[in-house]
C-alpha cells in the first residue's frame, strides 16, 4: 500500500517534495495545499491543488502532510495547527527556537494521536545527525560546522531589503585555511570571521548610491558585520545568467582523541555538495515522511526530531534487505 502524501505550501520546497515523491515508488502525492487561488497554481506533475483552508476535510485521505512553509512565520503556527489532525513533517530551521517549537508540536500531536517530525533537512537534519553520532563516538573532541560554498537565501533577502537594491545573491564561503586547521586536529577556537567569508552580488537601481549600499551591507549586524564581506555590483542580465541556481552544501567535522593519554587522533567528516538546496532538503523531508508513517502505524505518537528516529525507518527496503545490502 502506498503512503499518501500531502504538500502544504508550494514554493521551491513544495516543488522539490513533488518531484522527490516521484522518485519513491511507495508514495503517492494526493494533493498540494496553497493559500493562493488554487486555479492560479500550475504544478510540475499535474498534481491537484486545493485551498489550504480545505485541508482538514481531506484528513482521512492523507497519511503524512509535508509542510513546506517558511520558518519565520509559517511553521510556528502551521505545524502545531496541522499536527493535531495529520502526521506532519517540517523543516523548521530557526535553531534557537527549536526546543519551543518541539514542545508546541508535541502537545498538538499528542492531543490528536499523531506523529510529527520537525527540523528535517540538512541543517538542521543530516548535520544534526553528523554532530550527534560524532560527539557520542569521540567524547573528547570538538566539532565544527562549515557551510558553503552556497547561496544563503536569508542573507540574499536581507540585502534585497536595502533601499536601491533590485536583486541580490549572497554566497557563504568556508575559509580553506580554517578547514585545514580543523582537519589537522588542533581544535582551534575560530571566530565567525575566521570560518566563513560572504560574497554578495547585487543589482542596483539606476542612479542608486552604490557606496552607500555597499556600506549598509557590510555594516549590517548579525548578517554581515562579523564577516569579511565582498560586494560586487552586476547587471540584471548577469544575475539571471550566472546566479539563477541555488547550490549549497557544507560539512561537519569532529576531531577527537582516544587512548588513556589521548595519544591517537581521529577525524570524522560529513560533507554535502548540493546543486539544489531546496530539492535536496525536500528529498530528506520525503524520507522522513516514510519514517513518520511507520512510527504512527506503531502508535508511536508525539513530536520527534531526526535524533529520535531509527535510520532503518527511512528506507523503502525491508529490514532484511537493509541488513544484507547496507550493514
* Inter-residue contact 110 to 302 (CB < 8 Å): yes
CA distance 172 to 24: 32
Q: Of the ranges 70-78, 80-88, 205-213, 313-321, which one interacts with a second copy (CB under 8 A)?
A: 313-321
140 binding a second copy? (CB under 8 A): yes
Considering the complex, state which of residue 79 and residue 305 has its C-beta at the smaller distance from a second copy.
305
Binder of a second copy out of 222, 237, 260, 298 (CB under 8 A): 260
Binder of a second copy out of 24, 94, 153, 197 (CB under 8 A): 24
41 binding a second copy? (CB under 8 A): no
CA 66 to mean position of chain CA atoms: 13
For residue 160, give the H/E element and its range: helix 153-160
316 binding a second copy? (CB under 8 A): yes
Question: Under DSSP, is residue 31 helix (H, G, I), strand (E, B) or coil?
Answer: strand
Considering the complex, state which of residue 134 and residue 168 has its C-beta at the smaller distance from a second copy.
134
Strands 165-174 and 64-67: unpaired
* Inter-residue contact 170 to 199 (CB < 8 Å): yes
Binder of a second copy out of 162, 175, 220, 274 (CB under 8 A): 274
Strands 264-274 and 248-258: antiparallel
Binder of a second copy out of 6, 9, 16, 112 (CB under 8 A): 16
Binder of a second copy out of 44, 166, 192, 236 (CB under 8 A): 44
Omega before 124 within 30 of 0, i.e. cis: yes
* Binding track over 52-91 against a second copy, x by CB under 8 A: ----------------------------------------
Binder of a second copy out of 138, 202, 292, 301 (CB under 8 A): 138
Q: Which residues does residue 252 pair with via DSSP β-bridges, in sequence order?
A: 145, 270
CA distance 253 to 307: 18
CA distance 73 to 256: 39
Q: What residues contact residue 296 under an 8 Å CB cut-off, 6+ apart?
A: 63, 87, 114, 115
Residues 170-229 that bind a second copy (CB under 8 A): 183
Considering the complex, state which of residue 67 and residue 217 has its C-beta at the smaller distance from a second copy.
67
Binder of a second copy out of 49, 88, 126, 231 (CB under 8 A): 126
Q: In Å, what is the CA distance from 57 to each residue of 179, 261, 301?
A: 51, 63, 22
List residues binding a second copy (CB under 8 A). 16, 19-20, 22-24, 44-45, 95, 98-99, 102, 119, 124, 126, 128-133, 135-140, 183, 258-260, 263-276, 279-280, 282-284, 287, 290, 305-312, 314-316, 319-320, 322-324, 326-327
Amino acid at each position: 500500500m502506498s503512503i499518501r502524501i500531502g504538500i502544504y505550501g508550494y514554493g521551491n520546497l513544495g516543488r522539490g517534495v513533488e518531484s522527490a515523491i516521484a522518485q519513491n515508488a511507495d508514495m503517492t502525492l494526493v494533493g498540494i495545499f496553497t493559500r493562493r487561488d488554487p486555479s492560479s497554481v500550475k504544478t510540475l506533475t499535474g498534481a491537484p491543488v486545493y485551498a489550504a483552508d480545505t485541508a482538514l476535510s481531506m484528513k482521512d485521505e492523507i497519511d503524512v502532510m509535508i509542510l513546506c512553509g517558511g520558518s519565520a512565520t509559517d511553521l510556528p503556527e502551521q505545524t502545531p495547527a496541522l499536527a493535531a489532525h495529520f502526521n506532519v513533517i517540517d523543516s523548521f530551521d530557526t535553531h534557537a527556537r527549536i526546543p519551543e517549537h518541539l514542545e508546541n508540536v508535541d502537545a498538538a500531536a499528542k492531543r490528536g494521536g499523531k506523529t510529527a517530525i520537525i527540523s528535517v533537512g540538512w541543517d538542521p537534519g543530516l548535520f544534526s545527525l553528523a554532530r550527534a553520532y560524532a560527539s557520542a563516538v569521540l567524547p573528547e573532541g570538538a566539532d565544527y560546522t562549515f557551510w558553503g560554498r552556497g547561496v544563503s537565501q536569508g542573507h540574499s533577502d536581507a540585502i534585497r531589503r536595502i533601499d536601491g537594491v533590485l536583486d541580490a545573491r549572497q554566497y557563504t564561503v568556508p575559509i580553506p585555511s580554517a578547514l585545514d586547521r580543523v582537519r589537522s586536529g588542533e581544535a582551534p577556537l575560530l571566530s565567525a570571521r575566521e570560518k566563513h567569508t560572504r560574497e554578495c552580488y547585487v543589482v542596483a537601481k539606476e542612479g542608486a548610491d552604490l557606496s552607500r549600499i555597499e556600506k549598509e551591507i557590510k555594516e549590517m549586524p548579525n548578517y554581515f558585520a562579523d564577516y569579511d564581506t565582498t560586494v560586487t555590483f552586476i547587471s540584471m542580465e548577469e544575475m539571471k545568467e550566472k546566479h539563477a541556481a541555488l547550490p549549497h552544501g557544507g560539512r561537519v567535522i569532529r576531531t577527537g582523541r582516544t587512548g588513556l593519554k589521548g595519544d591517537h587522533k581521529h577525524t570524522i567528516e560529513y560533507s554535502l555538495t548540493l546543486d539544489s538546496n531546496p530539492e535536496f532538503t525536500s528529498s530528506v523531508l520525503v524520507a522522513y515522511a516514510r519514517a513518520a508513517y511507520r512510527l504512527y502505524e506503531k502508535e508511536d505518537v508525539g513530536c520527534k526530531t531526526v535524533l529520535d528516529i531509527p535510520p532503518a525507518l527511512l528506507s523503502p527496503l525491508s529490514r532484511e534487505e537493509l541488513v544484507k545490502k547496507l550493514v
